[in-house]
Chains A and B, each alone.
Chain A
């Protein structure tokens, strides 16, 4: 009998704990990056200087996708320099199996032509794309990327707040993982190799 009561108490406490885990959310309501589980990701078509670029054009390759903008003075260069340095650690055979797509969420200022020069400064294998605000918003949402224009009286009129992770998309177009902002080159290369296997 007492065992039953004890079990009951344990069950009750467990339920309470699980409930707390579900509902207790100390983060700000603005929280946008789910820490557990990956966003769906998936197909997209955007415009590059050489014409439309679709994720499916890269079937069979590992694709790194990064959302940013060229007016970004610090975060994007740090991310892209890290990715480029990671690519430079790969051997030519590995490198040939990897693509990097930089998606500008600032189509008003970033034309495909501008983007081409911008990304190739970091690494010749990077591709810069952008699209309509509606298209970009829909893709970013699917990838779990966040960006928002802020009317800050600085930085050329406005700055764009944005998530700074690099998404790793598999050979079949499936979302695999994220590389953290400012990850050192050896970590970038290690993640690429892990996912190439």
Chain B
């Protein structure tokens, strides 16, 4: 009997794990934009895909390279770009959220040390159910809009 309950508990844990937000979200093309010299902040971009059946929210982000990590967006108000924090980034069921230049981003504020191209920044995303996921984002030089950062060759 005891063995069965342990087994059951184990099953429930794995079922719970399967349903966790972190597991239904996959991350594509994560990168951190290399901060120009003297720029104290930079942004990380990625595409978050939700393969699950329910909407998921990213509630916060953390990373070891900056003192602060925040979720931000840009509002384009007649050509005036306004950057504002957002409480969460929603990823619809079977949908995706695009974090890209000019829009949503993970903001890395007050960098502890200068970065260099090719560094990898582990960014921890925490979801609304408390589950989390670490995304390894490579540091890439800023490129012009429409130029995919990942296709930079050397």
Contacts and interface: CB of A to CB of B under 8 A. Distances in A.
Given A28-B78, A30-B77, A181-B79, A82 B40 contact: no
Q: Among B83, B84, B85, which residue has the most Cβ atoms of chain A within 10 A?
A: B83
18 contacts: A28-B78, A32-B80, A70-B39, A74-B33, A74-B83, A75-B102, A77-B142, A81-B141, A81-B144, A82-B144, A117-B38, A121-B37, A152-B83, A159-B84, A163-B80, A182-B144, A184-B146, A185-B147
Contact of B83 (A77, A121, A153, A155): A155
Contacts of A172: none
Given A30-B77, A78-B142, A159-B83, 5 more contacts: A70-B36, A77-B36, A81-B143, A152-B84, A163-B79
Chain B at the A interface: SS class = strand
Contacts of A161: 77, 80-83
B80 A118 contact: no
B85 A77 contact: no
A184 B145 contact: yes
A153 B85 contact: yes
A162 B85 contact: no
Interface in B47-95: 68, 70, 72, 74, 77-85
B14 interface: no
Q: How large is the interface on B (under 10, 10 to 19, 20 to 34, 35 or more residues)?
A: 35 or more
A140 to B, nearest CB: 12
